[in-house]
Structure 1
Amino acid sequence: MRKIIHVDMDAFYASVEQLDHPEWRGKPLVVGGNEARGVVAAASYEARKYGIHSAMASALAAKKCPNLIFAKPRFERYKEISLQIREIFYEYTDLVEPLAFDEAFLDVTENKLGIKSAILIAKQIRQKIKDQTGLTASAGISYNKFLAKTASDLNKPNGQAHILPEDAAIFLEKLPIHKFFGIGKVTAEKMQQLGIHSGKELKEFSLQFLIKKFGKSGLHYFNIVRGIHLSEVQPHRVRKSLSAENTFEKDLITSAEFEENLYPIYEELMGRIKRSGIKGRTITLKIKYADFTLQTRSKTLDQYPENETIWDIGLELLRQEGLPKPVRLFGLGLSNLNVVEEQEFLDTQLKIPFLREGNEQNKS
């Protein structure tokens, strides 16, 4: 039986801004966008009281709260604090799986300090985060990642909760379907149409029925409502892509505006490539139009391109056909990364000796 902790920072981006700007503390604040354009990346708890949440259009957020403070994102600052927090995690275990700057899974079944109680470890971690960064975190503790993630939302902000193995079945039966981690709004609505409003009702349906209605995800839903989730904490997650994007204050209309505003995004991408040392063979242009429809255009090369080639291909993708509507957002990114190939190579190197040893043993 494993002991898994999910640590989730409370309104992380917004809390960092309030930490660094004392005059904003206790006031409704969002990170991202402005009163007229963009999307909310994070909302302080004061802003959430007005019904404001992440992914909401900034203009709508401003209507809901006329005194709302808009802060520009500072990802380097968020990364700096995130690394501080991660060092605290490593004091207890090397089995740390970051999900983003503000959350991570930890497997503390066998931890460096020999502490038997995962509940106590979570409490210590949260206190150290508070002491060293001035920020609060919430935590969930259980025997698998799904339940730990679910538990971390139960006593937010600045709290923690645990789900013991003997309590999991009853807890999941009572849990509203929309609170199951991994069941989004659309899926929850579809389940509710089938009469599934809680875990108890989900549990009544057969595996065959769930697969018929939800495809491969049906097996996942069948398992999680029974507290079954076998995914291990993965300390070495392989990056699959690298990108940069920008939402513009005014919609772009002309070809000259398109190219002029794409170049700073290319420069930002180049900065990220330089800092990470990552290369990619597929270049993708992301286009979001004023009506929020999304389009992507991609090109894959045989070799990893030089910096100038990435810009040339970005222009080629932009110019390959006219853009039919005003543009709200551009993004430029890389995939088919060298880090993925390196991981595949390492996996192969690890497997081959094992297979050879097995063959030799069979021959003997």
Structure 2
Amino acid sequence: MGTFSLAPDQLTWCAELRALAEHDLAPLAEQGAPDRVNRPLVAALGRLGLLERLFTSGALDLCLMRESLARICTEAETALALQGLGAHPVHAYGTKEQRARWLPEVVAGRAVAAFALSEPGAGSDAAALTLRARRDGAGWRLTGEKYWISNAPEADFYTLFARTGPAPGAAGITAFLVPADRPGLSGDHLDMLAPHPIGSLVLDGVPVGEEDVLGEPGGGFRVAMRTLNLFRPSVGAFAVGMAQAALDATLAHTARREAFGGPLSDLQAVAHQVADMALGVESARLMVYAAAAAYDEGAGGVGSAGAEGAARGGTGGGDAEGVARRAAMAKLLATETAQRVVDTAVQLHGARALRSGHLLEHLYREVRAPRIYEGASEVQRAVIARELYKQQARQEASR
């Protein structure tokens, strides 16, 4: 398979995913409460085998899943992605005991996972986190806050990042697997624009031990950045799926909507906007696929400071294959494009698209957040520029 084409079996699988989303998952999504974890939906993702594929497939398959589901049911896509984001560090860095305890529950859709990195003062600058892990005998006590955490406070466990060492920046951060029933752990829901669960966590001396560490003590930032490098292109796939849904709706609407003596599609101003929408969607899709293919070909590693470290001038943030740059480009192009495409779709639909419950009203709320989470667009631009200048320096040094 070439980087820029899909094999027939992949195209068939995408069609099957869209059918599952329409017939099995969308009805469950409609029954769920807004801003809350939809456990029947998560269980259905497990029953259909989609959660298992999070851990048995590569980055491209993850993108195909997210794009296909998002085109039909964004709630199902988000539930799938959040399970992957929260549990991937356990899959990749967990001990035998951690994996045996939690991964079967995640795959079956019985346990809800969450990725707890952001804090009130540490969003895109993830290395600025201040949640402290203080030594207490053979273990630690976690004290501080986490904010903007998807699936909080309803998750069953959290991949949580805390500062165990005195060094500033990325050094001294450790990843922990923290079950939700640990004493001292509490949280609240946050009312957000996007209709999926997001909350805050308060940790008041939460006990954790060596058996709760994911990876190595002090290596937590590497865990976080490797996870994000995998998921960043698939955030772009989520955006492409939403953009494609908006384009599909716009094609149908402008072909049948009569205005000024004929269908809207006969108006050059409309037809050219639709063409630009299609151009943007396809360009973003190809960028996402290229980034995912690069990851799958072995370019998934990052240096000790990761992508955000590169944005701030750290020593890490890429490799010879440029995965950090590609992932940043894919997320940036796809999320910014999706915002424009959905906005244009709303404009061409007119007032009907602003009614509560309309597909485009839903997409208009959903499409905004991906430009911020897992590294805001501004951070992605900084990563891209930093990687380009690093590449230029290497070329100069080799002459």
Q: TM (normalized to structure 1)?
A: 0.27
Q: Which one has the bigger strand percentage?
A: 1
Q: Which one has the bigger helix percentage?
A: 2
Q: TM (normalized to structure 2)?
A: 0.26
